[in-house]
Structure 1
């Protein structure tokens, strides 16, 4: 093993050395731990069998699948019951009233008995070998609270090809990993690619009542209490993109920003331990600054696109103002003010056009970096 630092944003590094291992990596753990996979389901009966099979076929681990049906109106319950009757590793919990994804997952969590935990939406799948690779990391590093890797986003048929071999592992101190998330203000995890240590989940609790960022808040809460590991070189899950998904139907830019702010606010409620409070307050200010900066940048881009006076732009600026961030901390504020002075002429400004292209380029670079580093 060797020590390595991971570069992220220009001028910022994760403050503690990450442990990085790249030689003779086991692709399965030495023993076969029990992994509980909770599958919340609402009207995804046509995807359910494929999701369950992607779990039952995992090598190197023992699995239990807990399907929690949230009062579906399609044939989900009959499909889930048939799956359970054909394999003793599958259990079904049915809810008589629809309670939403958080309550559904937490009910499945309460029934789980494994050493490790995965939350798998019924329309997603695990790639072959995913649980073996992630439990191998978790077994090697007992201080790791969760392991994640690269998810393949797709639409249409499930991809046939994927990367099957872990090339390296990286383990970061959890609070330093979390600090970067606050500096960027964004989540970097989809969901099915995460394996959690059950003892830590029991210690910090399940998901909290957030409409769209309950997963994000939970990952960040786990990172506050334990180290975080990333699997490089292998694809850990398939995430299905389709028009019926909750995020596709209900999340626009402003809603996304507000939901991320709510997750950070809930995450950094004053900790019980007095010595943790200054850092929690600092990280919350950092997250608020990142979100305000994003809202202002998006508003400036609206002016560049000729939509500066529309309601959505004003709502973005209202959101930024609510966060009460010092103006000097918002790097895109001078760009916005110039755009506001130009008004309808902003879309003809070479300066604003250049800044808009640079902002989009920065976001694309972040996306590319995420694909290779998980950050």
Structure 2
């Protein structure tokens, strides 16, 4: 019986490489539906990463690639590009090197995307994983179930952030191909991708915890340019204009 495949993409650079074993441990603990398997596409972002030193060499599901330093958004897209070589995977799932999947996360994503063809992508509840090992959630998650196309965009227009966490994304491969992967920005490229997916198809929110999102000083979200200043303004502008352009292209199809 042929397997069905979900590809996980993981960019890695700098100190986060030492956290790969924890990400891997959370991945091997996933229980998948019968007939399904995963592949892990780890992408070294620049020279000197040496991800292989932190991962078992005898797991054929792990594939390590290298690309010139371009930042995590570019590395994610390069990992996604490697999934296109075989063309086997149906779904693309995000897993950053410093994060951990919660038990059942992959099975829930696969279940929804196989049962509901109109749903193009999923997200889930995330907990911040603090340096002391404790976890913290946040209020404001949507209700479990369908996120109608355009609902994330409506929330983002008011708050300049999404109400669901893009680090928990799992999406159909063909939708990812339409969008070309992640926006090549120094940060927020995953938000741009999320808003693109929200334009193209309904989503789904799992109210079960799907990800432990590690908080640490080396995150790009800790950079002073991340949430203010000219770079932030430019990132928000291109994300907004990109989404508006996609929505304008989709409008005639929906009205027809």
* Corresponding residue of 2:140: none
Asked if structure 2 preserves the Cα contact closer than 8 Å seen for 1:126 and 1:238, the reply is: yes
Q: How does 1:160-239 map to 2 (within 5 A)?
A: 169-232=144-207, 234-239=208-213
Q: Matches of 2:204 and 2:233 in 1, distance apart?
A: 26
Asked if structure 1 preserves the Cα contact closer than 8 Å seen for 2:155 and 2:161, the reply is: no
Please point out which of 76, 88, 100 is paired with 2:51. 76
Q: Which digits, 9 at most, give the CA deviation of each residue in 1:302-334, with x for residues without a partner?
A: xxxxxxxxxxxxxxxxxxxxxxxxxxxxxxxxx
CA apart distance, 1:45: 1.8
Kindly indicate whether residue 124 of structure 2 is the aligned counterpart of residue 149 of structure 1.
yes
Please point out which of 188, 193, 216 is paired with 1:242. 216
Asked if structure 2 preserves the Cα contact closer than 8 Å seen for 1:118 and 1:192, the reply is: no
Secondary structure of the structure 2 residue equivalent to 1:62 = strand
Q: Which has the larger radius of gyration?
A: 1
Q: Matches of 1:66 and 1:194 in 2, distance apart?
A: 15
The structure where helix makes up a greater share of residues is: 1
Q: Which digits, 9 at most, give the CA deviation of each residue in 1:211-251, with x for residues without a partner?
A: 2110001001011010011112x100010000011111242
Asked if structure 1 preserves the Cα contact closer than 8 Å seen for 2:152 and 2:163, the reply is: no
Kindly indicate whether residue 28 of structure 2 is the aligned counterpart of residue 56 of structure 1.
yes
Asked if structure 2 preserves the Cα contact closer than 8 Å seen for 1:170 and 1:229, the reply is: yes
Asked if structure 2 preserves the Cα contact closer than 8 Å seen for 1:37 and 1:55, the reply is: no
Asked if structure 2 preserves the Cα contact closer than 8 Å seen for 1:125 and 1:192, the reply is: no
Give the structure-1-normalised TM-score.
0.57
Q: Matches of 2:250 and 2:5 in 1, distance apart?
A: 36
Q: Matches of 2:228 and 2:177 in 1, distance apart?
A: 33
CA apart distance, 1:263: 1.1
The alignment covers a number of residue pairs equal to 238
CA apart distance, 1:257: 4.7
* Ranges in structure 1 where 5+ consecutive residues have no aligned partner: 1-31, 163-167, 280-375
Q: Matches of 2:215 and 2:246 in 1, distance apart?
A: 36
Flag the structure with more relative contact order, 1 or 2, with Cα contacts below 8 A and sequence separation at least 6: 2
Q: Which digits, 9 at most, give the CA deviation of each residue in 1:155-207, with x for residues without a partner?
A: 22555999xxxxx8411321244223323332233333221111211233211
